């Protein structure tokens, strides 16, 4: 039997345990609340980072501009239209990573700083002498141009203002500049450098070019139609407005807008957009931070079908369910506006740049239910469930979509007519690549090495090489666009031509580089290898100029010795050309 005293003690213990659990919960809750408040009110050190250049800062591109399949993760800093400007570490730290690549960021340096940030300096021409020596030693050791190195924290310690490189135009750069980023070292999220005090000379309000309204459901319509409608814009200084439109059901809006800065003709991305309905905030996003890994969602943020058709990027002021971007501070009802019959709505959109220059857009809408005279076209094909693998086969080909290739369920048509494989769906962005597979049994064993997969685009049905992998007669390509694909052959080898030396002019004593032009008519340059007297030498590839070059200072030359320079260049199918020229060194 349990006594009354024991019962009371148990009761007290039970109450104490509940109180401890409640207090623990409150401690945890307020701890997380405090941390969240700290994060939501993040302060950025405005005087910590210096300038990466010793010329006045002017920008060719700003943070989070909309680029091809990605947001621009930093500032493109002008270098007076030339290469070779000194590039400096913007704060104390150490070089944590160095990459050299033909495309993308080209030659790039990453510096980790003790305050938890990493700065990135891209499209460099060459590195500072000590760093350049380290990189080339590793390139020669690996016998390859493209390389990624992660030095020890003690290898390259830098102070604010130390020379780290010369500016250039390497990689995917379209002109000489320095691409500069500030990232969180732990998460690799990129931040808007303007938050850190970099100058932004801008007293010009953003410019708005288009406003488009979108019916979002089968029962929605704008002016009696289920198709998107571009609204006529009138402008008075920085205020834009449209005529009243009639709508019904759930609709969304989108805008095309850019920003300008003082003293330059460049155009830039906008910084902030806020939309209100009848005075109540509905949606807002700001480009302060780009979360690592969210680039694929760029195409869910824009009107992708319109972009593929005319190249205009309309920023949607509503969130599709599969848009996972973290830029939104408010997205009530995902920005969708529910228009009811007999009610009027005043939509106000504020477009802002980093210096708080603003443009406003006013859109009056009246709810009016009317017969829908123009409906969206019905989808063709068979249903595809996005969150599972999907395989489709024809007589001589197949298509494999891994799960979540598409952002959402859709309809798909896979057909083969003759040699052409068609893969069609309603126009939409893809989240990742899928496989196109052909059986090439119709080709002879002699022809097969030259066979590859090509996409077919345009009114003239032009063929474009797709990276092709072979396993016997089976050819596979991983692609990220829908459309038409065929098997084709490429038997033409690259064209290789020495530019500043030849068999007749082979004295290299007064040269600093050996320059070779390399071009290919279809699949593009794939591999290249150069040797001097049988020993591998480093050729740097500048694809925008179709140029390979060897820096003579990489090797010690003497008057007594004779040299044989050999360069073999292969295209992506495997066709090869070899250039062989004897050299002498006679000062």
Q: Any residues with CB less than 8 A from the CB of 141 and at least 6 apart, and which? A: none
- Tell me: pLDDT of 552 over 70: yes
The predicted structure's pLDDT at residue 450: 95
- Tell me: pLDDT of 33 over 60: no
CA atoms within 13 A on the CB side of 565: 27
Structure tokens given for 252 = 């969304």
* Cα dihedral value 376, 379, 384, 390, nearest 10: -130
The domain over range 382-489 is classified in CATH as 2.60.120.10: no
Give the tens place of pLDDT for each residue, 300-347: 999 999 999 999 999 999 999 999 999 999 999 999 999 999 999 999
Burial, 252: exposed, middle or buried (Cβ in 10 Å; 0-12, 13-18, 19+)?
buried
Structure tokens given for 567 = 């360069």
Helix (H) or strand (E) holding 525: strand 525-532
Give the tens place of pLDDT for each residue, 447-457: 999 999 999 99
Mean pLDDT on 177-194: 97
Q: Any residues with CB less than 8 A from the CB of 306 and at least 6 apart, and which? A: 212, 228, 312, 314
* Cα dihedral value 174, 176, 177, 183, nearest 10: 50
Look at residues 108, 100, 352, 336 and name the one whose alpha carbon lies nearest to residue 207. Answer: 352
Mean pLDDT on 48-57: 96
Q: Reduce the DSSP state of residue 346 to 3 states and report it.
A: strand
Q: What is the pTM of this model?
A: 0.88
Q: How confident is the model at residue 367 (pLDDT cuts 50, 70, 90)?
A: very high
| Rounded-to-integer distance, Cα 99 and Cα 150, Å | 9
CA atoms within 13 A on the CB side of 151: 24
| Rounded-to-integer distance, Cα 549 and Cα 376, Å | 55
Sign of the C-alpha dihedral, residues 24, 25, 26, 28?
positive
* Cα dihedral value 50, 55, 58, 62, nearest 10: -40
Look at residues 187, 158, 150, 130 and name the one whose alpha carbon lies nearest to residue 49. Answer: 158
- Tell me: pLDDT of 10 over 60: no
Q: What's domain 495-583's architecture?
A: Sandwich (2.60)
Q: Where are the beta strands (DSSP E) in 302-404?
A: 315-316, 328-331, 337-339, 344-352, 358-367, 382-384, 390-393, 397-401
Helix (H) or strand (E) holding 27: helix 4-40
Q: Reduce the DSSP state of residue 511 to 3 states and report it.
A: coil
The order of strands in the sheet holding 434-439 is: 390-393, 397-401, 434-439, 474-479, 469-471
- DSSP character string of 168-214: B--TT-SSSEEEEEEEETTT--EE-GGGGT---------EEEEEEEE
The strand pairing partners of 246, in sequence order, are 366
The predicted structure's pLDDT at residue 69: 85
Residue 43 to residues 183, 191, 197: CA-CA distances in angstroms?
A: 14, 12, 12
Could you say which DSSP state residue 227 is in?
S
Q: Reduce the DSSP state of residue 154 to 3 states and report it.
A: coil
The predicted structure's pLDDT at residue 28: 33
Q: Reduce the DSSP state of residue 243 to 3 states and report it.
A: coil
- Tell me: pLDDT of 18 over 50: no
C-alpha angle 221/226/229, rounded to 5°? 85
Do the domains 59-196 and 495-583 sit in the same CATH topology, yes or no? Answer: no
Give the tens place of pLDDT for each residue, 238-294: 999 999 999 999 999 999 999 999 989 999 999 999 999 999 999 999 999 999 999
C-alpha angle 503/504/509, rounded to 5°? 85
Q: How confident is the model at residue 381 (pLDDT cuts 50, 70, 90)?
A: confident
Residue 97 to residues 74, 90, 155, 161, 175: CA-CA distances in angstroms?
A: 18, 16, 11, 19, 24
Give the tens place of pLDDT for each residue, 212-241: 999 999 999 999 999 999 999 999 999 999
For residues 187 and 292, the answer to whether their CB atoms sit within 8 Å is yes
Structure tokens given for 361 = 């857009």
Query: CB atoms < 10 A from the CB of 397, how many?
Result: 23
> Beta 513-519 vs 547-551: how paired, if at all?
antiparallel
462 CA to centre of own chain: 26
Percent of the chain with pLDDT over 90: 88
Q: How confident is the model at residue 2 (pLDDT cuts 50, 70, 90)?
A: very low
Give the tens place of pLDDT for each residue, 83-110: 999 999 999 999 999 999 999 999 999 9
| Rounded-to-integer distance, Cα 444 and Cα 452, Å | 14
| Rounded-to-integer distance, Cα 345 and Cα 12, Å | 60
Task: Please state the φ and ψ torsions of residue 137, each to the nearest 5 degrees.
Answer: -60, -40
Query: CB atoms < 10 A from the CB of 212, how many?
Result: 20
More confident residue, 112 or 371: 112
Ordered by start, the domain boundaries in the chain are: 59-196, 207-367, 382-489, 495-583
Mean pLDDT on 56-67: 94
Q: How many residues are given for the chain?
A: 587
| Rounded-to-integer distance, Cα 14 and Cα 16, Å | 5
The strand pairing partners of 76, in sequence order, are 61, 179
Helix (H) or strand (E) holding 20: helix 4-40
Under CATH, which number does the domain 59-196 receive? 2.70.70.10
Burial, 354: exposed, middle or buried (Cβ in 10 Å; 0-12, 13-18, 19+)?
buried
């Amino acid at each position: 039997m349990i006594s009354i005293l024991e019962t009371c003690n148990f009761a007290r213990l039970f109450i104490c345990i509940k109180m401890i659990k409640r207090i623990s919960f409150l401690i945890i809750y307020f701890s997380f609340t405090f941390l969240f408040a700290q994060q939501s009110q993040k302060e950025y050190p405005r005087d910590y980072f210096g300038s990466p250049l010793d010329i006045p800062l002017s920008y060719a591109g700003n943070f989070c501009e909309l680029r091809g399949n990605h947001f621009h993760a930093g500032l493109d800093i002008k270098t007076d239209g030339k290469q070779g400007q000194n590039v400096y570490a913007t704060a104390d730290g150490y070089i944590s990573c160095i990459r050299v690549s033909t495309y993308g960021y080209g030659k790039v340096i990453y510096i980790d700083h003790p305050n938890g940030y990493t700065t990135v300096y891209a499209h460099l021409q060459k590195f500072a002498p000590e760093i350049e020596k380290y990189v080339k030693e590793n390139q020669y050791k690996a016998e390859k141009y493209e390389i990624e190195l992660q030095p020890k924290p003690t290898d390259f310690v830098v102070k604010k203002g130390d020379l780290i490189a010369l500016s250039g135009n390497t990689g995917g750069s379209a002109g000489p500049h320095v691409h500069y980023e500030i990232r969180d070292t732990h998460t690799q999220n990129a931040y808007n450098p303007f938050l850190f005090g970099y100058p932004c000379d801008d007293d010009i309000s953003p410019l708005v070019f288009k406003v488009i309204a979108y019916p979002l459901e089968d029962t929605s319509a704008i002016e009696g139609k289920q198709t998107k409608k571009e609204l006529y814009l009138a402008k008075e200084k920085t205020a834009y407005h449209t005529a009243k439109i009639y709508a019904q059901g759930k609709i969304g809006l989108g805008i095309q807008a850019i920003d300008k800065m003082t003293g330059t003709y460049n155009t830039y991305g906008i910084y902030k957009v806020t939309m209100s309905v009848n005075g109540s905030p509905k949606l807002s996003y700001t480009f302060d931070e780009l979360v690592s890994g969210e680039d694929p969602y760029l195409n869910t943020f824009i009107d992708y079908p319109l972009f593929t058709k005319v190249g205009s990027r309309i920023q949607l002021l509503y969130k599709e369910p599969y848009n996972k971007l973290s830029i939104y501070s408010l997205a009530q009802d995902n920005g969708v506006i529910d228009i009811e019959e007999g009610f009027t709505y005043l939509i106000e959109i504020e477009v802002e740049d980093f210096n708080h220059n603003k443009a406003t857009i006013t859109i009056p809408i009246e709810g009016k239910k009317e017969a829908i005279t123009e409906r969206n076209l019905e989808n063709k094909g068979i249903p595809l469930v996005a969150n599972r693998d999907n395989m489709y086969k024809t007589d001589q080909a197949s298509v494999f979509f891994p799960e979540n290739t598409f952002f959402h369920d859709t309809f798909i048509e896979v057909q083969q007519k003759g040699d052409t494989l068609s893969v069609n769906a309603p126009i939409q962005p893809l989240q990742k690549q899928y496989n196109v597979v052909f059986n090439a049994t119709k080709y002879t064993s002699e022809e097969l090495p030259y066979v590859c997969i090509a996409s077919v685009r345009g009114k003239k049905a032009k063929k474009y090489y797709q990276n092709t992998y072979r396993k016997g007669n089976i050819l596979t390509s991983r692609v990220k666009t829908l459309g038409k694909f065929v098997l084709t052959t490429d038997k033409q080898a690259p064209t290789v031509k020495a530019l500043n030396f030849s068999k007749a002019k082979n004295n290299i004593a007064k040269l600093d580089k050996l320059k070779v032009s390399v071009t290919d008519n279809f699949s593009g340059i794939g591999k290249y290898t150069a040797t001097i007297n049988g020993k591998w030498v480093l050729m740097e590839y500048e694809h925008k100029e179709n140029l390979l070059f060897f820096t003579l200072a990489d090797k010690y030359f003497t008057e007594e010795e004779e040299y044989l320079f050999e360069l073999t260049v292969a295209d992506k199918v495997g066709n090869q050309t070899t250039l062989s020229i004897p050299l002498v060194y006679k000062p």
